[in-house]
């Protein structure tokens, strides 16, 4: 985790966008997990989560079946997800969380010059077990274990984000 990673100030509801490359594996998993963690503590209305991919290849499609299977096995509902593409309009969110450094660079390349850098962060800046700069690795071209690893990172980071959002 980045030392003393703080949430930027935001509106009501507080709006978080989670962004990966395809929006069919990592960011949908984080989206579903964080949304259910927020609902469990009564913050479903106070904090809204969206997700998107910097690439538009899968727009409109459900999430990858391996990501969906991993979520289902952990008791989450993957069925409502449809992939969306990140556009500059998404800079209206209070906090944008990128899954890896290349997603972060692609997002910042689209940013208006006035953007507060604290509003665009790596997702794992909020992972209590991660070193500074840690990424959620892309599991798409690998095996099942990659998806299991993503779920563990996402569950742990979502729990910490919920603690910060409760304050």
Residues 40-79 that bind ligand 4NP (CB under 6 A): 53, 57
Say if CB 75 and CB 100 are below 8 A apart.
no
Q: Which of 5, 22, 154, 157 binds ligand 4NP (CB under 6 A)?
A: 22
25 counts as binding ligand 4NP under rule CB under 6 A: yes
Residues between 127 and 156 with contacts to ligand 4NP, criterion CB under 6 A:
138, 140
Should residue 20 be labelled a site residue for ligand 4NP when binding is judged by CB under 6 A? Answer: yes
**Region of residue 30 (left: phi > 0; alpha: psi -120 to 50; beta: else):** alpha
Smallest gap from residue 89 Cβ to ligand 4NP (A): 20
Catalytic residues: 20, 26, 138
Examine residue 21 and tell whether it contacts ligand 4NP (CB under 6 A).
Answer: yes
CB of 95 to ligand 4NP, least distance (A): 19
Q: How many CB atoms lie within 10 A of CB 77?
A: 12
Greatest Cα pair distance in the chain? 43
3-class secondary structure for 83-123?
CCECCHHHHHCCEEEECCHHHHHHHHCCCCCCCCHHHEEEH
Q: Which residues bind ligand 4NP (CB under 6 A)?
A: 20-26, 53, 57, 138, 140
């Amino acid at each position: 985790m980045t030392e003393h990673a703080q949430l930027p100030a935001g509106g009501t509801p507080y709006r978080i966008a989670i962004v990966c490359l395809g929006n069919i594996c990592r960011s949908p998993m984080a989206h579903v997990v964080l949304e259910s963690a927020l609902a469990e503590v009564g913050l479903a209305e106070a904090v809204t989560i969206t997700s998107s991919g910097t690439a538009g290849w899968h727009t409109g499609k459900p999430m990858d079946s391996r990501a969906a299977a991993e979520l289902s096995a952990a008791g989450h509902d993957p069925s409502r997800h449809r992939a969306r593409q990140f556009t500059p309009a998404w800079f209206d969110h209070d906090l944008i969380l990128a899954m890896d450094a290349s997603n972060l660079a692609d997002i910042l390349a689209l940013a208006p010059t006035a953007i507060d850098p604290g509003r665009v962060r790596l997702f794992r800046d909020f992972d209590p077990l991660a070193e500074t700069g840690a990424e959620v690795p892309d599991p798409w071209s690998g095996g099942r274990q990659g998806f299991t690893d993503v779920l563990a990172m996402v569950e742990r980071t979502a729990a910490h984000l919920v603690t910060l959002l409760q304050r």
